[in-house]
Structure 1
Amino acid sequence: MDSIAVVGGGLVGSMAACFLARKGYHVDVYEMRDDPRTQEQVVGKSINMALSERGRSALRSLGLETQILENYSIKMFARLIHDVSGRKRAIPYGTNRDQYLLSISRRYLNELMLTEVEKFNNISVNFRHKLVGANLDEGKMTFLLDDDKQRQRHQKADIIIGCDGAFSSVRRAMVKLIRFNYSQQYIEHGYIELSIPPRAADGQYAMEVNYLHIWPRGSFMMIALPNLDHSFTVTLFMPFRYYESILDRNDLLNFFKQYFPDSIPLIGEEELVKVFFANSPQPLISIKCQPYNYLDKVLLMGDAAHAMVPFFGQGMNCGFEDCLILDELLTANNNNLRKVLPVYSDQRLGNCHTIIDLAMDNYVEMRDLVNSRTFLVRKQLDRLLNWVFPRHWIPLYSMVTFTRIPYQQCIQDRRWQDRVIARCQTVSIVTFLCTFLYVTYRTGKLNLLHDHLVLNFQ
């Protein structure tokens, strides 16, 4: 069989390696960072992961879901909205108690996947290997070794899988070879991560545990996800100009007293000041590209193909689904990876572009629309119609989060739902007017109404 090189040993790279090794391929994984299991602190992104059905399906296929569900994650059944006044209200995620997100730490999931990789004797993992050059036609790769920055290692593979993140070196090599469409967008918002420790009195959670907490403030927001150690990982998302306006301790505390007053005693004033000024706000980027393959030699997966902002919680879930779809296509095509690469690209492109756009739109929902009466009424209407027609009316969020319906189909179904509601509204208005006119006629008031309108218009 062809030899496979997976560039990038993060979550998606490790999972892709497992699926490919299970099909009998020999896989070499090259990761530029060190093994996180050997580090006290891991440098890099640490926003908690919200695991949902697409990611769970892939983990289930590898036999890992039960372990995560029972021992290493926390169920979140709803958003818990924190108003400025301190009032809280819940907005359920799904339409029943079986629909929930799982809060899980990025580090744990990385370590779990690497441990799973080590179970395959046809996978070799190479840490501290940074890809600095690639001849994709010949499958040749040049790596810089982190333990000796002057030393290079040259490797060769029949097929290269690029799972090396938003700033992918594999993707950069592809750009030079084909008519490759590529776009990136930095949004005007950045994030800083804070923490709410366990309660000092008893070591328990300082807030309600089975929720994703949101402090929506129109143009910005703060969220908090529970951890197994009874802390909460808190992330503040807001425009960079807001960060730039906060110059000292007083600015910061006044800002939090105005917008997040109930969070101050939870985080702690001193800790808030210390962590906020010790870190710079990190940027958020969306990336679209096309195609995901180069002939039958190279494939992009995960953030290398479709980096997205984190507001629909689908970045990791979409990346894991990439691996599962690749596995399903291999099964349907006699495990012929070369044949599958262009098929995978064609099948996955539109769906990934769709979820990138949905993730961007959901930021507006989380930071603003959750306070809108229209939004809340639509949520209740969707829940009611789903209860009445469970197979035919599934809310958009539920389709994306709790099913594996292709993302493009989710949008098409949502547009159909919008048209149905619009027509029902039109029918309701017409019915009301007809009823009103009929009643006025039957009660002899129609002529009085006519005379009143004539006098007003004269």
Structure 2
Amino acid sequence: MKTVIVIGGGLVGALQACFMAKRGYKVDIYEMRSDIRTMEVVRGRSINLALSVRGREALRRAGVEDTIVKYGIPMYSRMIHDRDGKRRPIPYGKKDQYIMSIDRRHLNEILLTEAEKFSTVTTHFEHKVVECNFNEGSVTFQKKDGSVVTVKADMVIGCDGAYSKVRQEMMKKTLLDYEQIFIPHGYMELSMPPAPNDKYAMEINYLHIWARNEYMMIALPNYDKSFTVTLFMPFDIFKTLTTETAVLDFFKTNFADSIPLLGEKALVETVIKNKALPMVTVKCSPYNVKDKFVIMGDAAHAMVPFYGQGMNCGFEDCVVFCDLLDKHEGDFGATLHEFTSFRSIDAKAMCDLAFYNYIEMRQSVNSRLFLMRKKLDNFLFWLLPNTWIPLYTTVSFSRKRYHECIKNKEWQDRVIQRALYISIPTLAVAGYYMYKQVEQLEVPLHEKLVQLAERFVSKLK
């Protein structure tokens, strides 16, 4: 039986352990932290997760989707909160399309428990990576008591997050291209408790957004009827919120409707006592060293959280990797090399999309031009569901490769730009022509419109 070491007992590491165990490998998970299932407080990022099609497909293949989604809350639309307190929804896609809010810790606990159900999976907590030997396929760990142990396996999979020790070892000992970018914005988590009647304090099936151009606040519903609220803004502004007056004045100006829901006292205490945390983007290549080591998830491609694809992208890594493993009939060398060449182009594209979506979420949703384009995209999607698919739909509600999603959006932009060059007289002539064509078609009106629209779009390609 071939042996596999998975470094990192987080979301991607636990899920990848399930995938490898299902394929008959002996798997050892090594995690630097204590077992989160025994911890009262888990330190680190706790932004709520938005589970979508890519992540759910991975969970389904691992056999744990049903166990997990029952704790999730569907979100069908963004709910935009204006400064004057008005709210307006912006749907994500069709009526049956939604992303799902789910608690990071709860999801991690479930995946660890599911991994341990396999008799071939063993978990080792409080083991810190000291050194990787890429020639021998071994890893040296330091345990909590200070002792050191070296273990060897046929393959080592690094799933140890954005500040990956495995990746650091690769940078020191191999030719690894690496890029790390910290954005000048940080985040701080707040909590919105249930309303006094033990109900949700706001509309439940929405991702709530207070978009204020330079900064924003979001709120995602939890299974216990609370909301996890996250404030994103430049560190320079966070540094000014050091007194009760400063905090309340800032929130009254920008997020007034949230104050009674968050509670003045809790809000002030949280903002003053806590420190805004950084967000980082990581791009690197290659993901593998020979046929022994490979990194995936945030270790390979950490991204800012604004598209809700960090976890979904990491989970999709597991699907892609295991599909390639099946394709190459268990050949680790061929699998690892193709995983790098196949996956790196998509991960880099998704990192760029995550940056783009921050601008959309905090600024563009307030633009009439953006809202008009959104309506146009949705109309064309309704009219031409197989031809015109909006960017967000391809990213969140399909498994189209990320870089192809971007190419599709670029093509749509070109089509619209060309269409705008058509003069009013030309449109009048085209309208008269289409009217005559419709009269001659012996099919229902909707089918006539679809046929004509497809002809028109094909001319603009």
Report the TM-score when normalising by structure 2: 0.91
Question: Hey, what does 2:114 align to over in structure 1?
Answer: 116
Within 5 A, what are the aligned runs for 1:183-262? 183-200=179-196, 202-262=197-257
* Equivalent pairs, count: 430
Within 5 A, what are the aligned runs for 1:399-438? 399-429=394-424, 431=426
Question: Hey, what does 1:141 align to over in structure 2?
Answer: 139
Amino acid at match of 1:89: R
Pairwise CA distance, 1:103 = 0.4
Amino acid at match of 1:286: T
Question: Hey, what does 1:450 align to over in structure 2?
Answer: none
Question: Hey, what does 2:81 align to over in structure 1?
Answer: 82
Give per-residue Cα distances to partners, 1:381-409, cap 9 Å, x unaligned.
Answer: 11111111111111000000000000011
Secondary structure of 2:421's match?
A: helix
Secondary structure of 2:355's match?
A: helix
Match of 2:390 among 374, 387, 395: 395
Over the residues paired in the alignment, what is the CA RMSD in angstroms?
Answer: 1.3
Amino acid at match of 1:84: R
Matched, 1:366 2:365: no
Matched, 1:39 2:35: no
Report the more deviating stretch, 249-258 or 31-40: 31-40
Question: Hey, what does 1:312 align to over in structure 2?
Answer: 307
Give per-residue Cα distances to partners, 1:17-43, cap 9 Å, x unaligned.
Answer: 111111111111100011111122222
Identity over aligned pairs, percent? 52
Q: Hey, what's the Cα distance between the residues in 2 that align with 1:427 and 1:37?
A: 62
Q: Hey, what's the Cα distance between the residues in 2 that align with 1:138 and 1:428?
A: 68
Question: Hey, what does 2:439 align to over in structure 1?
Answer: none
Q: Structure 2: give runs of 5+ residues left out of the alignment.
A: 431-461
Pairwise CA distance, 1:140 = 2.1
Q: Is the contact between residue 241 and residue 272 of structure 2 (CA under 8 Å) also seen in structure 1?
A: no
Question: Hey, what does 1:292 align to over in structure 2?
Answer: 287
Pairwise CA distance, 1:58 = 0.2
Q: Hey, what's the Cα distance between the residues in 2 that align with 1:295 and 1:86?
A: 57
Q: Hey, what's the Cα distance between the residues in 1 that align with 2:35 and 2:152?
A: 23
Change (3 A) 1:433 1:204: closer
Q: Hey, what's the Cα distance between the residues in 2 that align with 1:155 and 1:432?
A: 71
Q: Structure 1: give runs of 5+ residues left out of the alignment.
A: 436-458
Question: Hey, what does 1:349 align to over in structure 2?
Answer: 344
Q: Is the contact between residue 241 and residue 271 of structure 2 (CA under 8 Å) also seen in structure 1?
A: no
Q: Hey, what's the Cα distance between the residues in 2 that align with 1:37 and 1:428?
A: 64
Q: Hey, what's the Cα distance between the residues in 1 that align with 2:352 and 2:424?
A: 33
Q: Hey, what's the Cα distance between the residues in 1 that align with 2:140 and 2:424?
A: 68
Question: Hey, what does 2:61 align to over in structure 1?
Answer: 61
Q: Is the contact between residue 217 and residue 259 of structure 1 (CA under 8 Å) also seen in structure 2?
A: yes
Q: Hey, what's the Cα distance between the residues in 2 that align with 1:65 and 1:155?
A: 32
Q: Hey, what's the Cα distance between the residues in 2 that align with 1:329 and 1:158?
A: 17
Amino acid at match of 1:51: L
Question: Hey, what does 1:130 align to over in structure 2?
Answer: 128
Pairwise CA distance, 1:336 = 2.1
Amino acid at match of 1:343: E
Give the structure with higher Rg (CA).
1
Q: Hey, what's the Cα distance between the residues in 2 that align with 1:5 and 1:338?
A: 16
Q: Is the contact between residue 28 and residue 121 of structure 2 (CA under 8 Å) also seen in structure 1?
A: yes
Q: Hey, what's the Cα distance between the residues in 1 that align with 2:265 and 2:425?
A: 61
Matched, 1:279 2:282: no
Matched, 1:104 2:102: yes
Structure 1 residue ranges, 4+ long, deviating more than 6 angstroms after superposition: none
Amino acid at match of 2:162: A
Change (3 A) 1:432 1:393: closer
Question: Hey, what does 2:459 align to over in structure 1?
Answer: none
Pairwise CA distance, 1:153 = 1.6
Amino acid at match of 1:357: D
Q: Hey, what's the Cα distance between the residues in 1 that align with 2:424 and 2:148?
A: 73
Question: Hey, what does 2:329 align to over in structure 1?
Answer: 334
Give per-residue Cα distances to partners, 1:248-306, cap 9 Å, x unaligned.
Answer: 11000000000000000000100001111221000000000011111111101000000
Q: Hey, what's the Cα distance between the residues in 1 that align with 2:10 and 2:195?
A: 33
Report the more deviating stretch, 137-146 or 266-275: 137-146
Q: Hey, what's the Cα distance between the residues in 1 that align with 2:295 and 2:317?
A: 10
Give per-residue Cα distances to partners, 1:137-187, cap 9 Å, x unaligned.
Answer: 1122111112x1x21122112211110111111111111333210010000
Pairwise CA distance, 1:430 = 6.3
Amino acid at match of 1:267: L
Q: Hey, what's the Cα distance between the residues in 2 that align with 1:98 and 1:336?
A: 40
Secondary structure of 1:335's match?
A: coil
